[in-house]
Amino acid sequence: MRFLSLLLAFIQKSSFLVFLGIPATCYALCLHYQIAMPYPIYWLIGSSAWLVYLLDHFIDAGTSTLSVDRYDFIAKRKKIFAGIGAAIVLLNAFLVFVYFDKTLLIFGMVIGLLVLVHQFINTSVRKAGGNALFKESFVALIVTLVFGFPVLYNFSVFQGHLVPLFFLLLINLGNVWLFAHIEIEEDRKNNYPSLALSLGKKKSKQMLKQLYFLLLIGLAGQWNFEQDKALLIALAAMVITLQVILLKTDYFSKNNLYRFWGDLIYLYPFMALLIQNKLA
């Protein structure tokens, strides 16, 4: 029982579902666009994205002035997480060597540079005592670029069919913004910049509701134009999940449930398209 409790805490507090969700969404996009990609690339995408999240958690845990449950969890096990991170870096370096692709390497370097720029600007803004309007947008863009890599790699073929990727970008924004909205008091006390802090809690909630409503309207408008109905249903389910979390914040704030469900939504497209393909 203790092991299961520890496992659940690990999944919730280390953003481990990102490890599964991002490559799962990437795979769903490959199914949608009928793109074939070596399976180890999905590992590279998922593990690399998780390392970025883990690094962000490490930085927050090291700079937080509050005793926050997820920060304490990571800080107490920093050697274990550091060991896992080092092992992943070594394995990924080997896979990059085996599956060497110039475009993949350049893409990885660009993503890495964007992450460094993101961390540098946020640290600078925090030290200056300001708020960053762009933070959530920047994170949403990076995540979309990561799992949208196969589509962007074949941009010349799919440049006129990027609507699902655009919706995923906005869903990513609605997701990271929702997290910041729920954690607004933590961020205020720690002086962490966020869009929610810049807007204020009341306005932030109103604008999140508007974003989710517009996304659902937009997805409904695509129904007659998109042949892959399963993908549209999955995207709508992602938005509805975020809307429910927003409306029931008190409930989902318990035991970091909002993070569990907020990360879990990235498995929806994969599950929907997998079921669709099995039934076809």
pLDDT digits (tens, 9 = 90+) for 19-38: 899 999 999 988 888 888 88
CB neighbours of residue 136 within 10 Å: 24
Q: CA–CA separation, 279 vs 64, rounded Å?
A: 49
Residue 79 CA to residue 69 CA, distance in Å, equals: 18
Regions of the chain where pLDDT drops below 50: none
**Per-residue model confidence (pLDDT) at position 104:** 76
| pLDDT of res. 62 | 67
Q: What is the total residue count of the chain?
A: 280
Crossing angle of helices 78-98 and 69-76, rounded to 10°: 80
| 116-125 per-position pLDDT tens digit | 887 777 777 6
Place of tokens 């803004």: 125
Kindly give, in sequence order, each residue whose CB lies less than 8 Å from that of residue 57, ignoring residues fewer than 6 positions away: 13, 14, 15, 70, 71, 74
**DSSP code, position 275:** H
pLDDT the model gives residue 55: 77
> If you write DSSP's letter for every residue of 192-240 in order, what string do you get?
---HHHHH-HHHHHHHHHHHHHHHHHHHHHTTTT-S-HHHHHHHHHHHH
